[in-house]
A and B are shown apart, each in its own frame.
Chain A
Amino acid sequence: MLRSSGLGLASRVLSGFLLLFVAGALPWLSQRDPAASVLRARYAELEPTPEALASIRAQLGLDGGPFATSLRWWAGVLRGDLGRSWVSGGEIGPGVWAALGVSVTLTLFAVVVAVAVTAALVAPAARRVLRGVPQRGSGPAGVALTALPEFLLASTLLVVVAVQLRWLPPYGWTGLHTAILPALALGIPAGGLLGRLVADAVAGVSDERWVEVWRLAGASRTTLLAGVLRRAGAAVVDQLGLVFIGLLGGAVAVEQVFAIPGLGRYLLGAANAQDLPALQAGVLLMAAAAVLLGMLAGLARRALLGGPLAPGTLPGPPEPRGDDRAARWTAGLALAGLTLLLAAGLPRNPYAIAHPRLAPPGAELPFGADATGRDLLARVAHGTLGTLLPSLGIVLLAILTALILAVLGEVSRGPAEIANATPPILAGVIIAALLGPSVGGAALAVLWVTWPPLTAHATALLDEARAMPHIRWLPLAGVPPWEVWLRHVLPATVPPLLRHGMLRLPGVALALAALGFLGLGAQPPLPEWGLLLSEGIDYVERAPWTTLAPAAALVLTSVLAVALAGLRQAARDRQAARRGTGRKTALAVQRDGAGGALW
């Protein structure tokens, strides 16, 4: 992946154009005949005769195929015309701009929260630097703050603060007091992530030589702190994009939970109504916002580093060091909890309506019953399968995709960058709008964001395998290239890739549940965690257990995901350490021990 070549550039340019084309042609690409659905929505009394359909198609600008549709739309965008809604027939522009305004306001509040959280996480690390005490990283506080995905945190805040304590209004966008909970739900995970990155960077920077030199030279505390923060900022600035993407994706979920008329909810509404022109406009504005934020991050990088640097001039970002044993225990406990849930609930029937509606938990119904009188324990346990089995399929498909793309090399460069910059929820919104909401569509959306990191890993593994001396020498034994691949390179590549994929499984399950929660994935009456949670939220005041049961399962998975991410990091550290000592030296040592005597 480090080789930059004409092929990589071509791949990026081509993918960029393809993206623009697809964005413009979305209405045409829609699976269902848009003309028929518009006819149904607007003129219920008209018969769908071929003439009526053709006239509506022309009216929508869909005649002439995907290229004409795409070109016409982009021409309109350049004139400032975002088109007309299929559902209402009204201009899209004013509505979507108003939604953008709401979202920007909410994001600003969230940024305030995020900055406060970041400062709180970085302060102890910075204090330790000033005192000259080395520190190991951000510690458990940062992990705890990022453990809950936005849709879960938003639901929890809604239940606890708005419904139980009645401190703040649960819904709406009518004043400052309505912005507090959404800003917290959006800002805390983002701030937790950013704070962890910066605190780990500060801890790593404090190990660098110059800090000691400055301290010995008598630099004042302010100067030293400014220098350390500046250096840590430079190490983190490249990862700012991650935080922004998290904010964009999280905004959809948070706006949905708190019923805020922002861009995310607008997109979701457009997807559910299959109003593709509205979806196009929303996606365009979101992409423009992402590009703007990316440029701001670029400017910040330039200010911190003074322009582009030659590769290798900066030491890499410091590796966060997690506590391996704690992560192992946490992962084990979470896994045991999930297994217990499965063992207890799988024999029960998740579809039978056999209990009183919203029955409270008791001996017979450990988790209570839902609004239609179904056993919640059974539904949550079967939901584990309904969530984890598709996730397993996604991970395996992602591994397969990664292997194929790694073999193709630079060709996958452009799609990988686009996929890396897509929040899973946004991909889910677009796919649901095109194909209709379904488990398959949600799985496709999650797959779209899962393959890039696996591809990067597969590329590194393949390069490593091909450089192994014994594989390089196989042609000498007359082994044809395809057999070198199948019997020697792949067996060295697949097992580590499988391990990596399995460690990503809980994260994939959470993304899938988030889409289910937003109504973009599994449809009722399927038991699926996200769907269960969104069904329960409606009854949260009368029967809080309806949300508690699926939320508990999701929290367990989330804890598992964070613990496994820690393990993944530790494994990578060990691998790097092993590679640092070098294969050759190890071999020489082994030989010194055995060689002389036996020869």
Chain B
Amino acid sequence: MSTDGHNPPVLEISELTAVHGHGKHARPVLSPTSFTVMAGESVAVVGRSGAGKSTLADIALGLRNPAGGHVLVAGKDWCLPTRRPPHGLRHLVQGVPQDPAAAFVPRWTLRRSIGQAVHRLTGDHEVERRIRRAAELARLDHALLDRRPGEVSGGQAQRAALARALAVDPVLLVADEPTSALDAGTAAAVSGSLLSLVQETGIALLLVTHDPALAARCSRTITLTAPAAA
């Protein structure tokens, strides 16, 4: 993929809403939202706490279902209020979590966790080759792949999470506050890698952040407002 200005839409969201809880206790957590992310674009999602930023990221990742609206990924139906994303499309959207530990099973080596994702999502037999390439893209030292998530530093774990996401060739990367658990220097390095990755590979990036400086470095910013209490 290249960044020549005529890119296909990767993520199309229209009138998306979400609620928390069931029945009488349900309350809206995302007011109707519509936007489109093109390939090679980096879009920052900002807004106050409670505006639904993380909810939006979870829906885009397919970790929770919306209450209404439509989500298309690469032109295909992604998830509905009653249906999770189809397995065949899972590899298209990957994410970098706020807490890098979330991306890995604690008792497995990083290589095993990444390998599991590759094997499950792509059916590719050249797992090792993909892991190597992803580690290079994420600038992760190969030697660290045989450690467990608790045995690497926070910055290294975040790079490993990035490598895990890249190993399955996604078209969209969702990062929910990927640097909030890191110290300032590490955070700058991680967010730098994320943005340069978008430039190099043409992957689209949806970046949830509190940091105005980081948002300014993205190609576009979307501001969410908290839904009115029902």
Binding site for B on A (CB under 8 A): 5-6, 469-470, 472-480, 488, 584, 587-588, 591-592, 594-599
Contact = CB atoms under 8 A, between A and B. Distances in A.
Contacts of A588: 181
Contacts of A475: 62-63, 84, 90
A477 B63 contact: no
Given A478-B90, A478-B91, A479-B120, A473 B103 contact: yes
A478 B22 contact: no
A598 B94 CA distance: 26
B105 A470 contact: yes
A479 B183 CA distance: 32
B116 interface: yes
A470 B116 CA distance: 14
A477 B95 CA distance: 10
B181 A470 contact: no
B116 A592 contact: no
B101 interface: yes
B104 interface: yes
Question: Which bracket fits the contact residues of B?
Answer: 35 or more
B120 A595 contact: no
16 contacts: A5-B22, A470-B101, A472-B102, A473-B63, A473-B95, A474-B105, A476-B103, A477-B116, A477-B117, A478-B120, A479-B116, A584-B99, A587-B99, A587-B154, A595-B155, A599-B153
Contact of B189 (A478, A592, A599): A599
A6 B25 CA distance: 12
Contacts of B84: 475
A476 B61 contact: yes
A591 B154 contact: yes
Contacts of A472: 63, 102
Q: Which of A477, A480, A488, A598 has the most CB of B within 10 A?
A: A477
B193 to A, nearest CB: 11
Contacts of A597: 153
A477 B102 contact: no
Contacts of B102: 469-470, 472-473
Contact of B117 (A476, A591, A594, A595): A476
Interface of B: 22-23, 61-63, 84, 87, 90-91, 94-95, 97, 99, 101-106, 113, 116-117, 120-121, 152-156, 164, 181-183, 185-186, 189
A599 B153 CA distance: 7
Contact of B121 (A470, A478, A591, A596): A478
Given A5-B23, A473-B63, A587 B101 contact: yes
Contacts, number: 84
Contact of A473 (B90, B97, B121, B156): B97
A592 B121 CA distance: 34
A579 B203 CA distance: 39
Chain A at the B interface: mostly helix, strand, loop or mixed? Answer: helix
Contact of B101 (A469, A477, A594): A469
A126 to B, nearest CB: 42
A488 to B, nearest CB: 7
Contact of A6 (B23, B61, B117): B23
A578 to B, nearest CB: 16
Given A475-B63, A477-B117, A470 B104 contact: yes
A10 to B, nearest CB: 13
A221 to B, nearest CB: 47
A591 B101 CA distance: 12
Contacts of B87: 478, 480
A598 B164 CA distance: 20
Contact of B153 (A469, A474, A595): A595
Contacts of A592: 183
Nearest to A591: B154
Contacts of A479: 116, 120
Given A6-B23, A587-B101, A595-B154, A476 B186 contact: no
A475 B63 CA distance: 7
Contacts of A599: 153, 155-156, 185-186, 189
A596 B91 contact: no
B94 A595 contact: no
A596 B182 CA distance: 9
Given A476-B62, A476-B94, A478-B91, A595 B182 contact: yes
Given A472-B102, A473-B103, A598 B155 contact: yes
A595 B157 CA distance: 10
A477 B121 contact: yes
Contacts of A587: 99, 101, 154, 181
A599 B102 CA distance: 19
